[in-house]
Structure 1
Amino acid sequence: MLPLKVLQLLGRTWRLLATGFSFSAFGLGGMLLWLLVFPCLHMLIWQRTRRIHFARAIIRYSFRSFIGLMNFLGVLRYQIIGEKKLARQGLLLLANHPSLIDTVFLMAFVKNADCIVKNGLWNNPFTRGPVRAAAYINNEQGTELLDACINSLKEGNNLIIFPEGTRTPANGNIQLKRGAANIAIRGLQNLTPIIIHCEPKTLGKGVPWWKIPERQVQFIIEVKDDILIQSFTTTGDSEVMAARHLTEFLQHYFIQEKAHHA
């Protein structure tokens, strides 16, 4: 029987190779969607709304396949808690952001998902096809960004937002921006928090994909009960002050939940 250290080294080597293979498959899949699938979709479905709906469904199943591949190869394990709460329409979903693949997880399990994407993804050859076909919201819309988000929710889409604006830094300090609160306040929209716990940490901010942890990663994704917006909009405060108070509440909420999972 091989010594424990040798087995651990073999396991880590396998997970490194499997991680590289998974991300290669992800990139290749994005290219194929851009070059083959979505052009065919554009020719076959002329109605824009139906075409977007089908594009988002294709992305959802593709991302679920990617998660399934990483799970099958032993790169990670995951558990979704409260998944039934996602079987609704017009949800404003707020999640913490410890890992690069948080977006992939949420897009894989949320039907008719919409999200705000960085402008660079619109021109990246591996992501431009899915992003454009699904008509996700470009973060460079300026003053129109809030209106685009509110309109998406009114249309029944489930809008995914990471209120930190980027992945949580290595020190673990959560610092929320006010964008999500402004959407909730102006759109009179309840919020559905999602707590993502990743242990050990992987694919964090500034960490390249090949720096994998010493052991297999476990993801726990918990959909929490809704936060009702009414208590923040009936105080007589201006929208600016209400958004500030809501942001402070959400920051305390996510910090507390993070400590609970620690």
Structure 2
Amino acid sequence: MNQIPETGSSGRLRTLREYLIFYCGLGLLAGISFLWTLLALPLNLILPRKWKTRTGRIIITMGFRMYLWALSGMGACHFNLQALDILQKDSPMIIAPNHPSMLDALMVISRLPNLACILKSELVNNLFFGAGARLAGYIRNDSLRKMIRLATEDLRGGSHLLLFPEGTRSTRLPIGTVHGSIALIAKEANVPIQTVFIETDSAFLTKGWPFFRKPSMPIHYRIRLGKRFVPPSDVRGFTVELERYFESALTDVPFPPLYPTEAEGQ
């Protein structure tokens, strides 16, 4: 059933409240990131190497979980992420979600404390996120050969690995082009690939959405588990199979358009 738009003073109050929530959410994320950077910088220097990664990942998981809890408490978002909890005690594997928005990694990390991530190099060098990412042993994507080697070592050491098959946020729906690196890493490390489906009713922070543009609230997010694939032997063939699987599984999911209209978020 379509919601009847609010008009007059009630509509203006709702809009004002949403703007207040929106900017409080952004400020909270910036504040958490800044405090984590201040903590991570000395920890990178004083912690023994074997403690750095574990400490960094646990703190990031706790920080993201508190942040998402705060967004829920403010009424900005509703999150249904419990499906990920069953993976915490599983053996090493690649966690492979679709990637509609910038919040996807935060949602997954908030439920899995022993998770390596592959990040864009600019994020590892970022003032707000870089020190924490390095402490947690997150992996840069600037060198394919090195990325595959480090990811394989991490998986063999007992970690899970978060790797978006598209390599970036979706450029088409239901999923963009799947890259072969996910199959290469799974084959090299001999670990399964657990597919994950992220569903949302908002185009907030999808490709093309300006970072400071307010969405309509509340936004709903749901995560569910898909098929778990055994380690592939045919990298090219598996990459095609994985993309087809995502397309088939997400075809009937009512995603909003990737590029928001001018009316949206006003």
TM-score by length of 2: 0.86
- Any idea what SS the aligned residue of 2:18 has? helix
Name the residue aligned to 1:244. 236
Name the residue aligned to 1:105. 107
Q: RMSD of the TM alignment (CA)?
A: 2.0
Q: Does structure 1 retain, via aligned residues, the 8 Å contact 2:198–2:222? A: yes
Name the residue aligned to 1:67. 68
Structure 1 residues 128-149: Cα deviation after superposition (integer angstroms, max 9, x where no partner):
1211111211111342211111
- In structure 2, relative to structure 1, the CA distance for the partners of 1:173 and 1:105 (3 Å cut) is closer
- Any idea what SS the aligned residue of 1:222 has? strand
Q: Specify the code of the residue in structure 2 equivalent to 1:21.
A: C
> How many matched pairs?
248
- Between the aligned partners of 1:152 and 1:10, the Cα distance in structure 2 is 50
Runs of 4+ in 1 over 4 A off after TM superposition: 170-173
- Between the aligned partners of 1:24 and 1:193, the Cα distance in structure 2 is 32
- Between the aligned partners of 1:176 and 1:8, the Cα distance in structure 2 is 42
Structure 1 residues 70-104: Cα deviation after superposition (integer angstroms, max 9, x where no partner):
11111110112523431224121001000111011
- Unaligned segments of structure 1, at least 5 residues: 234-241
Q: Share of identical aligned residues, percent?
A: 23
Q: Specify the code of the residue in structure 2 equivalent to 1:249.
A: E
Does residue 210 of structure 1 match 2:212?
yes
- Between the aligned partners of 1:181 and 1:8, the Cα distance in structure 2 is 50
- Any idea what SS the aligned residue of 2:212 has? coil
- Map 1:171-186; keep pairs closer than 5 Å: 172-186=174-188
How many Å apart are 1:218 and its aligned residue? 0.4
- Any idea what SS the aligned residue of 1:223 has? strand
- Between the aligned partners of 1:55 and 1:258, the Cα distance in structure 2 is 33
Does residue 257 of structure 1 match 2:252?
no
- Between the aligned partners of 1:200 and 1:194, the Cα distance in structure 2 is 18
Name the residue aligned to 2:189. 187
- Any idea what SS the aligned residue of 2:249 has? helix
TM-score by length of 1: 0.87
Name the residue aligned to 2:161. 159
How many Å apart are 1:226 and its aligned residue? 1.7
Q: Which moved more, 1:24-33 or 1:92-101?
A: 24-33
Does residue 139 of structure 1 match 2:141?
yes
How many Å apart are 1:15 and its aligned residue? 2.4
